[in-house]
Structure 1
Amino acid sequence: MRCEYFDDGRCRSCTFLRTPYPEQLATKVRARRELLTSVPAGAWLEPVASADEGFRNKAKMVVAGRTGAPTLGILDPAGAGVDLRGCHLYPPPITEALPVVADMIARAGLVPYDVPGRRGELKHVLVTVSPAGELMMRFVLRSRDQLGRIRRHLPRLLSDLPNLAVVTVNLLPAHVALLEGEEEIVLTERSALPMRLSLPGGPLDLELPPRSFFQTNTAIAEAMYGQAAAWAAEIGPGTAWDLYCGVGGFALAVAKVGTGAGEGATADATVGAGAARSPRVVGIESSPDAVAGARAAAARGGVADRVTFADGDATAWALASSSGAPDLVVVNPPRRGLSEELAGRLEGSGAGHVLYSSCNATTLARDLGRMPSLAPVAARLFDMFPHTAHDEVMVLLERV
């Protein structure tokens, strides 16, 4: 991928852009195998590569510049705006929308937030695209002061962008290095973005509310959920937990095993002799908005009778659970990994299998060491973030 922003030094976020992509992927695979020494060499499946451009489903644009002439992109070391509307990491629905929203910001007279001066109103514009090409757009403001201007200019924005399905305003009053605040104001009739994913055994329908997490790379997310469904089909769990479940991707993929979705998926390795059946799944997530989206997706997908989602801390819930050990536990923690208490709970739980999805191989290696009774039997790297040192690794553990 060639990038004019990288070539002229305006943006260096894609650290390894000048390294050929096959070499990037090979380097990641080698690094993960060297770090995760408890995973046998024969347990590693072929890595899942990404497209090297147009793969990011979410644009997190810092708004800077001046009233009438905003920039959408990043800040330079001095805090000035660097416009990146043409960034090649985004697919066409996003790159086509960014100039339109910049024109709307200028026309409405919205005041970009000046980070060094700590003044202004509009901090970020966050744009997410669904597999169907629909958009969710969120304006992050310091206060309600310019909310009325956005409301007045919303009809034209919706007319100019017919694929714009959800528009919100998020309030972030504090001068902090965060993307969003706690309060969300929905300005459209629809309040969540449908995400229909393609898995080998059939579609997986998710609902993405504004303040909820979804994997940045949709194609890689599909591959990860497909792998989880394939492993679950081979294990044949009757019960499962999905801790840190987000909007329910893993939980719903596992719940659909035995109903069509998940059947036909290819795991590339035999991990057990269990026959596919439809398990009962509990998903735990600390974000109430994400839980609401997961519940809506379960109802929409016809599995609400088999999947229960609850709002709570994963560690506290697992420690307090009196329901006995499930057959399968899925964990997809943040970069800090599992707490020592949760790793200990899983180690002593009696659960037959644990599927660990990690965005930080260093904490993954630490956590695998904390669960010696659970042996890695399959592992796979998913290249979620080309041109960077980051990736996702999924490891299937089996009790020995």
Structure 2
Amino acid sequence: MECSYFDAGLCLSCTHLAVPYAEQLAAKERHCRSLLSGHPGLEWLPPVPSPGAGFRNKAKMVVGGTAQEPTIGILDTEGQGVDLRRCGLCSPGLLASFPVLGEFISRANLTPYDVPRRRGELKYLIVTESPDGELMVRLVLRSKALVGRIRKNLPALLQALPQLKVVSVNLHPEHKATVEGQTEILLTRQSTLRMRVNDVDLHLRPQSFFQTNTEIAAELYRQGRDWVRELAPASVWDLYCGVGGFALHCAGPGREVTGIETSREAIASARMSAREAGIDGMSFEAGDATAFALGSPEVPELVIVNPPRRGIGPDLCGWLESSPVRHVLYSSCNAETLAKDLAAMPSLTPRRARVLDMFPQSGHYEAMVLLERA
């Protein structure tokens, strides 16, 4: 991928951009194999490549400059806006939306937040595109001051961007290095973005997490479904289930599937997907994955874990190690913590592994491991 922003030193986020893609993918697999080298019987499936450009379905863009000349991108070291409207990582649909959103900012006179001076209102645009080309836009504001202005100008935005289906305002009053706050104000009748992945319809609410690379997410869920179908467990837990990607793909006749996730928004989305699909034997609950496992009187035959970068941690590792769970499907975005967690569960032997390149042009990737009780 060629990038004028990278060449000019304006954005260096793609740390591996100068490395040919085939070398990037090979290096990621070597890194994962090295971390899991203590498991010599592990069968490695071929790594799954990603398109090197245009793969991101979500963009978290800082808004800088002025209302009449806004920048949509990042901030430089002095807190000034750097416009990245032509970022090669973003999907074509995202790229097409940025000029329209820039015009909306100017027309509605939405003053960007000035980080060094701590004044202004509009902090971020968070834009997500579905596989069908529909969009969700979230405007992150410091306060409610501009909400009325946004509502007034929203009909014109929806007319200019007909693929835009969900619009919300997120309130983030604090001056801190986080992207969003707790309060969400929905501005459209439609509240979820339909994410068609393989043959499953997932629903994404404004504050729900979804993988940023739809193509690799589809491969991830297909691989999980294949392994689960082969093992044919009667009961499955999907811990850290998000909007239910793994759970909904792994459902089947006579199989009880339970999804656990801290985000109530994500759980509402998962329940909606299961209800629309008419799938029996599924339940989703909002809660902590570790607390759920430790407090449950029942134990499933198979557990899926898809934790954040910190991994599942010692308590859940300890529970899995001492439990009668026969198989664990571990999907990880951080092979360092994956290796640490596997070492804490010696009774569960890694049988198969696969690297999926969720994040081209960087050193990050997704790794999936299937474990079996010895």
Taking structure 2 as the reference length, the TM-score comes to 0.99
Q: Are 1:214 and 2:219 counterparts?
A: no
Match of 2:149 in 1: 149
Relative distance call for 1:54 and 1:278 in structure 2 (3 A) is farther
Cα distance between partner residues in 2 of 1:39 and 1:112: 52
Cα distance between partner residues in 2 of 1:42 and 1:286: 32
Describe the SS at the equivalent of 2:248. Answer: helix
Cα distance between partner residues in 1 of 2:100 and 2:67: 16
Describe the SS at the equivalent of 1:127. Answer: strand
Q: Deviations over 1:107-155 (max 9, x none)?
A: 1110100111111100000000000000000000000001011101100
Cα distance between partner residues in 1 of 2:118 and 2:367: 39
Q: Are 1:341 and 2:341 counterparts?
A: no
Cα distance between partner residues in 2 of 1:233 and 1:121: 50
Relative distance call for 1:381 and 1:41 in structure 2 (3 A) is farther
Describe the SS at the equivalent of 2:71. Answer: strand
Match of 2:255 in 1: 279
Cα distance between partner residues in 2 of 1:141 and 1:15: 30
Match of 1:320 in 2: 295
Match of 2:330 in 1: 356
Match of 2:197 in 1: 197
Conserved 8 A contact 1:39-1:379: no
Match of 2:86 in 1: 86
Count residues in correspondence: 374
Cα distance between partner residues in 2 of 1:49 and 1:181: 34
Cα distance between partner residues in 1 of 2:67 and 2:51: 36
Give the superposition deviation at 1:41. Answer: 6.0
Q: How does 1:290-309 map to 2 (within 5 A)?
A: 290-303=266-279, 305-309=280-284
Conserved 8 A contact 2:168-2:185: yes
Q: How does 1:1-400 map to 2 (within 5 A)?
A: 1-40=1-40, 43-198=43-198, 203-255=199-251, 257=252, 278-303=254-279, 305-323=280-298, 325-400=299-374
Match of 1:264 in 2: none
Relative distance call for 1:221 and 1:183 in structure 2 (3 A) is same
Match of 1:273 in 2: none
Conserved 8 A contact 2:205-2:265: yes
Give the superposition deviation at 1:42. Answer: 5.1
Give the superposition deviation at 1:106. Answer: 0.9
Structure 2 gaps of 5+ residues are: none
Relative distance call for 1:76 and 1:207 in structure 2 (3 A) is same
Describe the SS at the equivalent of 1:211. Answer: coil
Conserved 8 A contact 1:40-1:376: no
Conserved 8 A contact 1:126-1:138: yes
Q: Which amino acid aligns with 2:237?
A: W
Cα distance between partner residues in 2 of 1:53 and 1:221: 16
Give the superposition deviation at 1:302. Answer: 1.4
Structure 1 gaps of 5+ residues are: 258-276
Supply the RMSD in Å over aligned alpha carbons. 0.9
Conserved 8 A contact 1:58-1:127: yes
Describe the SS at the equivalent of 1:104. Answer: helix
Cα distance between partner residues in 2 of 1:176 and 1:250: 33
Give the superposition deviation at 1:307. Answer: 0.8
Q: Deviations over 1:71-128 (max 9, x none)?
A: 0000111110000011011111110000100111011110100111111100000000
Cα distance between partner residues in 2 of 1:193 and 1:76: 32
Equivalent pairs: percent with the same residue?
57
Give the superposition deviation at 1:195. Answer: 0.5
Give the superposition deviation at 1:67. Answer: 2.3
Give the superposition deviation at 1:66. Answer: 1.4
Describe the SS at the equivalent of 2:139. Answer: strand
Conserved 8 A contact 1:168-1:186: yes
Taking structure 1 as the reference length, the TM-score comes to 0.92
Describe the SS at the equivalent of 2:292. Answer: helix
Conserved 8 A contact 2:42-2:350: no
Q: Which amino acid aligns with 1:351?
A: V
Cα distance between partner residues in 2 of 1:343 and 1:41: 21
Conserved 8 A contact 1:378-1:396: yes
Conserved 8 A contact 1:40-1:377: no
Cα distance between partner residues in 2 of 1:42 and 1:341: 25
